[in-house]
């Protein structure tokens, strides 16, 4: 597997955890490319650059696996096969309430996973105990459709007044709850 990390304390710690877990499972960790999965533990700028390199074909990868803190529009917007573990579903009523509150307080800002988790803690809410894997897709289908969470209509919205997690895209669950360890 390829790994994109950075020199930040969080990035170094996450990369060390990835390397240790990979070593325990007999998986080789190397540089990006060579048609293998790409795991990204860098910050937003490094992750965006990595996703753009996959989208452009500069880096070949069998999916781009993102650290949970990388749930942010610039990282998810390139079409690079991004997968991300989350403890919440971005299109649920609760997560969209955060997006609405953010939009009201800071117009033009987009929601982030770390922002939502902080908002949950401030409200005394707990995240789901086990993460699920989500796929990001910027493929846009106009017209009425069912939302990714299955709770209501998705649809065709122009000039939405509320910031969305991934404008003109979807963040959809692709796994059940995963074990950690």
Q: What is the pLDDT of residues 111-168, one digit of tens each?
A: 999 999 999 999 999 888 899 999 999 865 666 555 555 455 554 444 445 578 888 8
For residue 175, pLDDT over 80 is answered with: yes
Q: In terms of Cα–Cα distance, which of 51, 36, 16, 47 is closest to 137?
A: 51
CB atoms within 10 A of CB 168: 13
Length of the chain, in residues: 181
39: which strand partners?
3, 65
| pLDDT tens digits for range 91-115 | 999 999 999 999 999 998 999 999 9
User: What integer pLDDT is reported at residue 168 of this predicted model?
Assistant: 81
Q: What is the mean pLDDT of the chain?
A: 87
pLDDT at 148: 52
Read off the DSSP letter of residue 82.
E
Per cent of the chain over pLDDT 70 is: 86
Among 17, 15, 19, 4, smallest CA distance to 181 is for: 17
**Cα 154 to chain centroid, rounded:** 19
pLDDT at 131: 94
Average pLDDT over residues 8-23: 94
Q: Whole-angstrom Cα distance, residue 43 to residue 172?
A: 22
74: confidence class by pLDDT, cuts 50, 70, 90: very high
pLDDT of residue 62: 94
Distances (CA, A) of 119 to 111, 114, 158, 173: 11, 9, 27, 22
């Amino acid at each position: 597997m390829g790994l994109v990390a950075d020199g930040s304390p969080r990035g170094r710690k996450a990369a060390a955890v990835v390397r240790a877990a990979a070593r325990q499972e007999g998986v080789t960790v190397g540089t990006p490319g060579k048609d293998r999965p790409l795991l990204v533990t860098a910050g937003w700028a490094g992750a965006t650059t990595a996703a753009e390199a996959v989208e452009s074909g500069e880096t070949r990868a069998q999916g781009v696996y993102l650290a949970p803190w990388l749930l942010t529009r610039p990282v998810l917007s390139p079409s690079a096969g991004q997968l991300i573990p989350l403890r919440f579903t971005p299109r649920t009523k609760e997560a969209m309430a955060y997006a609405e509150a953010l939009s009201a307080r800071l117009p033009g800002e987009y929601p982030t996973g770390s922002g939502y988790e902080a908002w949950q803690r401030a409200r005394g809410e707990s995240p789901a105990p086990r993460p699920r894997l989500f796929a990001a897709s910027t493929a846009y289908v106009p017209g009425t459709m069912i939302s990714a969470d299955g709770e209501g209509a998705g649809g065709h919205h122009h000039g939405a007044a509320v910031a969305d997690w991934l404008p003109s895209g979807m963040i959809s669950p692709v796994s059940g709850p995963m074990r950690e360890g």
